[in-house]
Amino acid sequence: MAAITKAELIKLQKNLKADAAIGEKFGISRQAVHQLRKKYGIPSNIAKNDERNKKIVQLYKTGKRMVDVGKKFGISTSHVQRIIMLRTEKRNKTKK
């Protein structure tokens, strides 16, 4: 396994985001990066998605266009649309 310190891994995660991208940079697997994160107690970026998704839906409900919301969060318009649809679906299922 590559010698990546906790501080390096945190910095890499902020810049490269995905475990696969970090692994590619160091010539190790995505799973090896995942194991390092677990070893160092660093949460996945995916853990922050629920919070981000709530903000996306809130912005959309205030009248922001999907394209503008996508630019703000660095994701595609179609990704914004999927998030809005899924969160709306989830809410409708819990109301029944």
Write the pLDDT tens digit of every residue in 56-73. Answer: 999 999 999 999 999 998
52 neighbors 73 (Cβ within 8 angstroms)? yes
- Same structural domain, 37 and 55: no
Residue 93 pLDDT more than 70? no
d(CA 84, CA 64): 12
CA angle at residue 8 from 3 to 14, to 5 degrees? 135
Residue with tokens 């299922």: 93
Domain count, the chain: 2
Q: In the predicted model, is pLDDT for residue 84 greater than 50?
A: yes
Asked whether residue 83 is assigned to any structural domain, the reply reads yes
Model confidence at 95, in pLDDT bands (50, 70, 90)? low
The verdict on 19 and 37 lying in the same domain is: yes
Parent domain of 65:
48-95
Largest CA distance in the chain: 51
Report if residue 1 sits inside a domain. Answer: no
Does the pLDDT value for residue 90 go beyond 70? no
14-18, 21-25, 83-87: least confident range: 14-18
Q: Which residue has the higher pLDDT, 95 or 37?
A: 37
- Provide mean pLDDT across the span 33-55: 90
Q: 42 and 9 in contact (C-beta within 8 Å)?
A: yes
pTM score, whole prediction:
0.58
Residue 48's pLDDT band, with cuts at 50, 70 and 90, is confident
The count of other CB atoms within 10 Å of the CB of residue 82 is 13
Together in a domain, 34 and 67: no
